[in-house]
Amino acid sequence: MLADRLFEALTDLTEALDRTRTLPDASAVIADFALANLDSDHAGVALHPADGGVIRLAATGPVVHDLDAAQALGEPGPGSHDLEAGSILTIADTRTDTRWPAWSARAAAAGVLSARLVGLTQLNHGSATLDLFSHEPHTHSTAGFLHARRAAKHAGLGLRLVDRIANLEEGLASRTLIGQAQGMLMERYGLSADHAMSYLRRNSQHANVKVRDLARAIVADRDARPGDQPSTM
């Protein structure tokens, strides 16, 4: 019966993720699903960039943010770990945990007595985890372990698809914006397409900004200086 309910919930999760268009929105859907179906009192989704650190994409309550803040203040915790998809890290009782004593003590003081982190997927800017927290110790059973892993597989697939679509849309928007700026330079200064693009690249390097951001400024007519014709060299 529990497996049937989980299957229905996963179907609903897949449909809900299909309606999202950004990582934060998709992550919020996953966190809400976890809160309702995976024996947790608090849940969140975190991004672990390749260069280190943790970015909280979604949280079901302030407790999750408080635990993030503890890590940011130099109290290493389980959230500092980058997990592969399907991998699970469990703290059965924060009152007796010896791996991250300072963080676990902070969690216990906040009423979080057990935690489980599940690797979701690899995204464009890092890996994602589903973080589950409970007010009771030893709440994560073997069945819960299997359910969390199964749910993570579905959630990870949905999150990765949203990430890919968002990256494609961002890339398309950037190319459109750069094309508009290129066209404006061609019209304004009588440049060829290649010379206009060279101008954008050269000035983006000189100003240490992305070509996309320079193009946005040109399209918005910011920093425009009439008569300052770019070189065609």
* Residue range 164-194, pLDDT digits in tens: 888 777 777 778 888 888 888 888 888 888 8
pLDDT at position 142 is 65
**28, 138: one domain:** yes
Q: Name the residue with higher pLDDT: 190 or 104.
A: 104
Angle subtended at Cα 212 by Cα 191 and Cα 177, rounded to the nearest 5 degrees: 70
- Segment 106-114 mean pLDDT: 96
Q: What is the number of structural domains in the chain?
A: 2
**131, 37: one domain:** yes
* Structural domain of 184: 168-219
Residue 26 domain flag: yes
Q: How many CA atoms lie within 13 A of 112 on its CB side?
A: 25
Output the domain CATH number for residue 110.
3.30.450.40
pLDDT at position 227 is 46
Output the domain CATH number for residue 189.
1.10.10.10
**215, 151: one domain:** no
State the sign of the Cα–Cα–Cα–Cα dihedral 28, 93, 100, 118: negative
**34, 67: one domain:** yes
**90, 24: one domain:** yes
Residue 191 domain flag: yes
Residue 138 domain flag: yes
pLDDT at position 141 is 66
Judged by phi (left if over 0) then psi (alpha if -120 to 50, else beta), residue 195 lies in: alpha
Asked whether residue 147 carries a pLDDT value surpassing 80, the answer given is yes
**200, 161: one domain:** no
**70, 174: one domain:** no
Residue 120 domain flag: yes
pLDDT level of residue 19 (50, 70, 90 thresholds): very high
